[in-house]
Amino acid sequence: MPALVLDGKSLAQQSEAELLARVENLKANSGGKTPILATILVGDDPASATYVRMKGNACGRVGMASLAVEMPSTTTTEELLAKIEELNSDPNVHGILLQHPVPSQIDERACFDAIALHKDVDGVTCLGFGRMAMGEAAYGCATPQGIMRILEHYGIEIEGKHAVVVGRSPILGKPMAMMLLQKNATVTICHSRTQDLPGIVAQADILIGAVGKPEFIKGDWVKSGAVVVDAGYHPGGVGDIELSALMDKASAYTPVPGGVGPMTINTLIMQSVESGERSLV
């Protein structure tokens, strides 16, 4: 039986229609004001510039405004912190996105953590992570939160299942594991140095590929009937998992592209709208 395709692209389009209605309602009740997402791009990395442009376009599709802040590659940590503080203090800005990665001379973690919690719509601060992990109110990190929305929409059962997360980054693997744990999965976190990784992956009822290496996770490692979520994207249109071997083996999978990526951006926009709703009405 062919696997269920967890279509993040169509889900994001459906969500955008709902968000557009929420933004229109917000405008009607706030004298025409709209949520504003500030995006900070440091340097001239073309991939980062493309991602920032995609996020700005997504804002426009739901009727939101975006504020593009571009800073040179020579920017210092102190200069970036000053810009973030300026945006924190601006009542017209409801969300702040610092595009990752920043140039090497910048202390990226210090700059992420300078973002005010109520404007951390990308879910990148240590405080936001800690609150989320403790079950307290916070915006979830956009990619894992987007994955949770996909699983919920398609009715994927999480409670009691063994979820294996391959990857431990602070903005994907670690928050992903905590979110699955909150939904009562039994969670194993693995990485590129895990001993007998194929054997652990083979135990997964839900597999999350978040290791950042193209097709690092092989299709023959995955057991029949597993739910496979590929959070990677690499040149050539491949992810972190060898998906071509899983079309008839997995019970469900996210395509690459068109799976996790669209829901990452949509979650950022959704959380920006939520922030605007909290402060404008």
Name the residues annotated as catalytic: 55, 99, 122
Single-letter code of the amino acid located at 278:
R
Is residue 77 exposed (0-12), middle (13-18) or buried (19+ Cβ within 10 Å)? middle
Enumerate the H helices of the chain as residue ranges. Answer: 8-29, 46-61, 77-88, 108-114, 126-133, 142-153, 173-182, 197-201, 260-280
- Sorted by sequence, the CB contacts under 8 Å of residue 27 that are 6+ apart come out as 33, 34, 63
And the tokens for 159? Answer: 């409670």
Tokens of 272: 């920006």
Return the C-alpha torsion angle 212, 218, 224, 227, nearest 10. Answer: 10
